[in-house]
Amino acid sequence: MAYESLKKIYYKDNSKWLEEYNNRFNAPFTEHFDINIKQYGHNEAYPAFFCHNAEITYLINAIHSLNLELTFKQLSLPTVAMHQITQAYMIEEIQASNEIEGVRSSRKEIRAALELAKLANKDKAVRFSSIVSKYNKLLTKTKIKFATCQDIRKFYDEFILEEVATENIKNKPDGIIFRADNVELTTGTQKVLHMGTYPEAKLIDEMEKALAILHDERYPLVIRVALFHYLFAYSHPFYDGNGRTIRFITSYFLAWDFSPLVAFNLSLLIKRNRKNYYTMFEETTSALNRGDLSFFVTEFLHIIKSSAEDVIACMDTQIAELKKWDAKINSLNIKDKTTYDLYRILLQATIFSLEGITMQDLTTILKKSTNTIKSRLNTIPQNHLIIDTSEKVHRYKLDLEKL
């Protein structure tokens, strides 16, 4: 049975609502937090709590099982294919996270930042370079400190401050750590939906308590991450960039316990189900929900589960395509080993990446000079090749319809 919000129960049968609240609030395995949840426009605030339930247990087990299945599938992939699919998911994640907040970005811009990161050129700067830099750390499991409010602010400055300031200089943080003024979250018609925690002293205290929950290892990681995701959004520590920041932090922690592909697919799923995502926050913050964070946790675990299922389904299709076209390449009876290897790398780039592969990557993977790769490319029938010359860095892939 699905775990319903207390708000939903109230409107279905308000005679059972208060009894259900008391049952949840006083249940033996309920966790209580020293944070109050208050709906905008209401006087009453309610202490936050989390009630363990059967659906959460099911979801945690399902997520771990799916992750194990995905891990075995990843191990069956060639190294190049895994690199290509990871890069593609990272680009999609960054673009989707931007679009959720109404920030326009293109794959081309994000790819440019990725290419710059490979060159480690500190003298040049392109849009999203700081964001890409952090996502690369997530991929390599480089430690990022998120222990204190100061850590959150330091990360924010390195991750997104430049983008926020470019969009609107007035949105730069102006408090001791976070923001000094109040902030309202509104609809397109300027209806106020929520007001972030204020003043800053209260905001800092609330964020410290949320961070303590995030790092409390008595709870499974996915529960801690879901709770922190909600509490960060509820407190709203910055004027702008909160959504992109918390989605990165969520992905960062998930990537330590699960496949990075699951973490890299979250924003895309959230973007596809944006209305439901915002409803989760609205239902949880409602005065009729009385501080019960269990509904948000349950729904967020569904998102993680769907992310894993989505990646597995996509990978199954790609693996089937790889086997099919691998057989086609073998039927070509290519005698030169370098040319044969080149075909297979191009095939992987075609199937597992939307954009193809660069000359730099081809030379690195095949351990051959640029001249050698170019000479082999010249021996491949030109109708087999697609060369994207629309950008300074050309990209190569196969035209499978002509193969």
The per-residue pLDDT for range 237-283, each reduced to its tens digit, is 999 999 999 999 999 999 999 999 999 999 999 999 999 999 999 99
Q: What is the pLDDT of residues 103-142, one digit of tens each?
A: 888 888 888 887 777 665 555 567 788 888 888 888 888 9
Pairing assessment for the beta strands 30-37 and 46-51 based on DSSP bridges: antiparallel
Whether domain 29-308 has CATH 1.10.3290.10: yes
Pairing assessment for the beta strands 184-186 and 46-51 based on DSSP bridges: unpaired
Neighbours of 386 (CB within 10 A): 16
Residues 283, 289, 291, 295, CA torsion sign: negative
User: CA 35 to CA 224: how far, in whole Å?
Assistant: 15
- How many Å separate Cα 174 from the centre of its chain? 27
Task: Count how many residues are written for the chain.
Answer: 403
CATH code: domain 332-398 is 1.10.10
Decide: 156 and 245 in contact? Cβ < 8 Å: yes
User: CA 238 to CA 177: how far, in whole Å?
Assistant: 9
- How many Å separate Cα 259 from the centre of its chain? 12
- List residues bridging with 37 in a β-sheet: 46
User: CA 6 to CA 264: how far, in whole Å?
Assistant: 31
Average pLDDT over residues 78-91: 90
Residues 125, 127, 130, 134, CA torsion sign: negative
Q: Which residue has the tokens 């290419």?
A: 115
Percent of the chain surpassing pLDDT 90: 80
Question: For the whole model, what pTM was predicted?
Answer: 0.93
pLDDT confidence of residue 308: 96
- How many Å separate Cα 145 from the centre of its chain? 18
**Which H/E stretch holds residue 38?**
none
Q: Which residue has the tokens 């005698």?
A: 335
User: Which position has the higher pLDDT, 377 or 185?
Assistant: 377
Q: What is the pLDDT of residues 200-225, one digit of tens each?
A: 999 999 999 999 999 999 999 999 99
pLDDT band, residue 392 (cuts 50/70/90): confident
Assigned token pair, 160:
């997104």
Domain limits of the chain?
Answer: 29-308, 332-398
